[in-house]
């Protein structure tokens, strides 16, 4: 599953970030492969907003399609 497919409030674990630029930006926010995040908001045809702790990060829909996730327990 990819990040663009998750629902608001869903908790997921980042499995793979294929795009190097997105990976570098995510690491600055403490989000890397293996991190557990929550979908804070999902705007129609817009970005997916994820939250880790008190940090929120908006990821464009095109980039969200390049981030593989799985459901977190």
pLDDT above 90 for 15: yes
pLDDT digits (tens, 9 = 90+) for 18-56: 888 888 888 887 789 999 999 999 998 899 999 999 989
Q: What's the CATH number where 22 sits?
A: 2.30.30.90
Check residue 47 and give its pLDDT.
Answer: 95
Alpha-carbon span 12 to 70, nearest angstrom:
5
Check residue 68 and give its pLDDT.
Answer: 96
Q: For the residues of 12-57, what is the DSSP string, one character each?
A: EEEEEE--HHHHHHHHHTT--TT-EEEEEEE-TTSPEEEEETTEEE
Per the structure, the complete domain to which residue 40 belongs is given by 3-71
pTM for this predicted structure: 0.87
Check residue 72 and give its pLDDT.
Answer: 95
Number of domains the chain contains: 1
């Amino acid at each position: 599953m990819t990040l663009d497919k998750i629902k608001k409030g869903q908790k997921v674990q980042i499995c793979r970030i294929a795009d190097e630029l997105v990976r570098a930006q995510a690491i600055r926010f403490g989000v890397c492969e293996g991190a557990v995040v929550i979908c804070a908001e999902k705007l129609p045809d817009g970005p997916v907003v994820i939250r880790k702790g008190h940090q929120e990060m908006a990821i464009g829909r095109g980039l969200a399609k390049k981030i593989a996730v799985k459901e977190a327990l």
